[in-house]
A and B are shown apart, each in its own frame.
Chain A
């Protein structure tokens, strides 16, 4: 392995460590009170001390997020295929979806609570609502950007719309689709945590809310760390999935979503 490669591989760890060291140093140097900004050591202590609830609530948040995300993948893929299928559906649905996406999801949570009560369902649905949009848009884009000339070549052979979708549309959409999963999974966390902190008795969002009420500031930050770790791991899994499924796109320099 070359020297440069090692440097690149180590870089994320070094930068993360540097962030924590600077943080710790700044808190000590300026005597910042723990209830304002706790130093990383205090957060680490909180993580150890409250390991069991953090673990349990993280797991809960992870499950609502993943279920919402799973729904978003299924529904987003389906709607994306429908939207990308025909120009008129695309034209009709696009403004609706833009409008829908512009609605802050935090404003939707009360309605979800009204319909489904507090807890699990609103969290799943918020994660779903917030994360399906990038999937739809990317899938539709992949279908809508088939080269017209290639379409002509195939149509002149008597290919049906379905043929063109199967042979060209869907395979070329996959890189867009898998690319969008990275964005979607991070958004799904945002959704579930928003909902949990407004309307739930479980989950990291709720844990942080309780910690705030009791003024346990290090525990709030411990919750943030737990979310960040979950977010990074899921993002990383999606990135691996992307490379596995559509390595050709990266090797060929195909348009990346």
Chain B
């Protein structure tokens, strides 16, 4: 029985195998229901790891398995959110949430019949991230933080088993970011989904994750795996404790070493 997301000795180069690989000998195993965070120097292949795990890119060496199956096409059970919210400006917030349902089966074929039901589901999801009643607004009428919440909802609307977040809070101010940490923490606790979060923010990684993976500089691979034993549910206050700070400092020193 392998892990829910399992990359084994994976090497990938964008320009074919003659190019300097983006990642080389990368192995990572994320268990079902786990919250994993990946940190590492810029350009080390974190986004590449996401693309490999979701079937957007395929390695020239090694194997990628998700939910027990070898990834040979886009996985469909994943939801993704990025630093840019990439909402469609011609759709209302609610209609933006319905977009994945217009694409993924079985929702796709039932869209016509069950539109009202799906809209209600989208509205509920918006409420759960503190955007109740904002569904009729257009994305450009929302603040950056609200747009990012919407983007998270869009990643979750089709009830994916796997949530892939690539620096989702990178463009937000510190307070909004911490608010959204709590949003994502609660969503994960309620739905027990597997989360893989790429971030530059070590406090974010330690606060949210069960395990933090540190990657080396390009070509990237995992150089350290750190279990975070801070008991759940975690409150924001925990980030000010000595134990928390120690973990952050420990990870920081690894990244500094990984950069060189």
Q: List A residues at the B interface (Cβ < 8 Å).
A: 147, 149-150, 152-159, 163, 167-168, 171-172, 246, 248-249, 251-254
Contact = CB atoms under 8 A, between A and B. Distances in A.
B103 A167 contact: yes
Contacts of A152: 51, 54, 56, 80, 82
A interface secondary structure, majority: helix
A140 B51 CA distance: 26
B68 interface: no
Contacts of A248: 89-90, 138
Given A150-B86, A249-B89, A252-B89, A167 B74 contact: no
A156 B54 contact: yes
A217 to B, nearest CB: 51
Contact of B88 (A155, A158, A171): A171
Contacts of B75: 156
Contacts, number: 68
A156 B78 contact: yes
Q: Among A158, A252, A253, which residue has the most Cβ atoms of chain B within 10 A?
A: A158
A244 to B, nearest CB: 14
Contacts of B103: 154, 157-159, 163, 167
Contacts of A168: 88
A157 B76 contact: yes
Nearest to B164: A156
Interface string B127-169: 0000000000011100000000000001100100000100000
B100 A157 contact: yes
B99 interface: yes
A165 to B, nearest CB: 12
Interface string B46-80: 00000100111000000000000000011110111
